[in-house]
Amino acid sequence: MARQPRRADDQWPGSRAIAAEKANTANAFSLKDKAMATANLYTGAQPGGFLFGAALSSPPIPDAIYAGKSEDFGTQHDPMVGKQVGGVIVFGGGVALYDGNGIGGALGVSGDSSCADHNVAWRVRHLLGLDHVPAGVSPNMKDAIIYDIGPDGKSPSGFGHPKCNGKEDQIAVDLGAGVSGNVVR
């Protein structure tokens, strides 16, 4: 079967860039012995948080993100593959990839709510067998999304993410990709 030509509008170019920036962020904020999903950065990046301003610390590199022909975007010939894209994203959808020996890269997902993107990234990482996460900031010692932001806007864990409008929070809990409620570390 002949490959159908790709069109520039086969995917949302902004979402492609956000996914790459989420991967960059997860890779940049994770260590060999401690994973940090982009969802874990939300609270810390708010005014007064320990990461406030982090989203401005590494701007995306447009020449890397938008290089090449748009018909190659999203294919094995995507011109962004292997390039440093920059960018820091502080909401769900980015996870580091752990192969059992440490970080082997990162994965970014964008295209739905940030909560759903986190769940998809968690599932894809698992399916790839790259989910040997040594430790993380969530109570289950993983890089699970933490839904503990209270009505006062505070996160007792310091790593909380806001809930989205759907059932993503319950799906995350069911997958082991999230924790909900008043979480204190």
Residue 8's pLDDT is 57
Tell me the CA distances in angstroms from 158 to 43, 48, 74, one per residue in order. 6, 11, 35
Strands 145-147 and 94-98: unpaired
**Closest C-alpha to 106, from 51, 28, 177:** 28
Question: Is the CB of residue 110 less than 8 Å from the CB of residue 19?
Answer: yes
- Overall pTM surpassing 0.85 (yes/no): yes
78-120 pLDDT per residue, tens = 999 889 999 999 999 999 999 999 999 999 999 999 999 999 9
Q: Report the pLDDT value the prediction gives residue 169, as an integer from 0 to 100.
A: 95
Report pLDDT for 11.
62
Rounded Cα distance, 64 and 80, in Å: 6
Q: Could you read off the pLDDT of 140-177 as tens digits, one per residue?
A: 899 999 999 999 999 999 999 999 999 999 999 999 99
pLDDT band at 7 (very low <50, low <70, confident <90, very high): low
Each residue's pLDDT tens digit, 66-81: 999 988 888 889 999 8
- pLDDT higher for 12 or 59? 59
The kind and range of the H/E element at 179 are: strand 178-180
Q: What is the CATH number of domain 11-180?
A: 3.30.450
Q: Contact, 94 vs 40, CB < 8 A?
A: no
Q: Measured on CA atoms in the order 155, 141, 178, 161, is the torsion positive or negative?
A: positive
Where do we find the tokens 């948080």? Answer: 49
Report the range of poorest mean pLDDT among 130-134, 144-148, 173-177, 181-185.
Answer: 181-185
Q: CB-side exposure of 163: number of CA atoms within 13 Å? A: 17
Measured between alpha carbons, how far is 75 from 72 in angstroms, rounded to an integer?
6
